[in-house]
Amino acid sequence: MNLLNRLNWLRKPKVKTGITDYTSTVPDNIWIKCESCQTLIYNNDLIENLKVCPHCNHHHRLTAREQISQICDPGTFYEEDASLSSRDTLGFKDTQSYVVKLKEAKKKTGLSEAVITGIGQIGSYRVGMAVMDFNFLGGSMGSVMGEKLVRIIYKAIKEELPLIIICASGGARMQEGILSLFQMAKINYALNEFSSKSLLFISVLTNPTTGGVTASFAYAADIVLAEEGALIGFAGPRVIEQTTKLKLPEGFQRANFLLDKGMVDRVVNRKSLKSTLISILEFNYGR
């Protein structure tokens, strides 16, 4: 029994692990206003375009389930550890208690945590996957996200699978304090073991990827892809400006800026993410 179980941080299973149908439940007969260009778009058209605005190319945020359905071959994703959920170990309360916040996040997203992990197929390649959901407490990394990531990393090692982590996170979960920060070292330790087996790790940084996630595993990959327009950084631009008293250059911490600085390997439009991943898998594992 590992440390987490001994400390009883994990709730009892409520959600069944297994193959899940990730078909969108959003009604298709409504109009959505683009967050960027403000154009009204028929929701069906937006979904067909993978939630990329057909007018201005703005990449609207995806849920973890939408992300999985966009890149995995249909019906192939098998979810692991779907029932794991954080407990309020520190008795944390600010304007609201952590217990209430967790409850509301679960109700809003239908998830038990801010990451979904499992094994899926992309272009017929089996891969270990972790996909974060920003809608669940800002995709924050608490003890359960750490545990789920470590479990899928070790499963990928055991089955000699490549690993893909799709990040969307505001960083460590402040309601779990130091327990969140522990996860950075814990995940990177597992990734180091993964790397020692010469297995392939691809990280996909979506909007936003910040804080302790950027500072640890998001950049520990063999190949780091960034989604077009994504904000990627440690501290936010406003905090940096206030601290350094400097005016930041245009596009600072955006995907293309980071590509120019050599911080990411490629900027990918969402519509070519799956084909890019397949190309990388083909290159490494053959057809």
In this structure, the dihedral spanned by the alpha carbons of residues 183, 263, 127 and 106, taken in order and rounded to 10 degrees, is 50
239 touches Zn ion by CB under 5 A: no
58 touches Zn ion by CB under 5 A: yes
Sole window of 50-58, 96-104, 192-200, 224-232 interacting with Zn ion (rule: CB under 5 A): 50-58
Backbone angles phi, psi at 146, to 5 degrees: -60, -45
How is 153-212 classified by DSSP, letter by letter? HHHHHHHT--EEEEEEE-SB-GGGHHHHHHHHHHHHHHHHHHHHTT--EEEEEEEEE-HH
Rounded to an integer, what distance in angstroms lies between the CA atom of residue 144 and that of residue 82? 11
7 touches Zn ion by CB under 5 A: no
- The count of chain residues that interact with Zn ion, using the rule CB under 5 A, is 7
Q: Which of residues 21-40 bind Zn ion (CB under 5 A)?
A: 34, 36-37
Of the candidate residues 14, 55, 93, 108, the single one contacting Zn ion (CB under 5 A):
55
Rounded to an integer, what distance in angstroms lies between the CA atom of residue 248 and that of residue 240? 8
Sole window of 54-62, 112-120, 219-227, 271-279 interacting with Zn ion (rule: CB under 5 A): 54-62
Q: Which of residues 165-194 bind Zn ion (CB under 5 A)?
A: none
Nearer to Zn ion, 55 or 266 (CB): 55
Rounded to an integer, what distance in angstroms lies between the CA atom of residue 254 and that of residue 225? 13
Q: How far is the CB of 26 from Zn ion (least distance, A)?
A: 18
56 touches Zn ion by CB under 5 A: yes
Q: Which of residues 115-134 bind Zn ion (CB under 5 A)?
A: none
In this structure, the dihedral spanned by the alpha carbons of residues 99, 100, 102 and 105, taken in order and rounded to 10 degrees, is 180
Sole window of 7-15, 51-59, 64-72, 211-219 interacting with Zn ion (rule: CB under 5 A): 51-59
- List of residues contacting Zn ion (CB under 5 A): 34, 36-37, 53, 55-56, 58
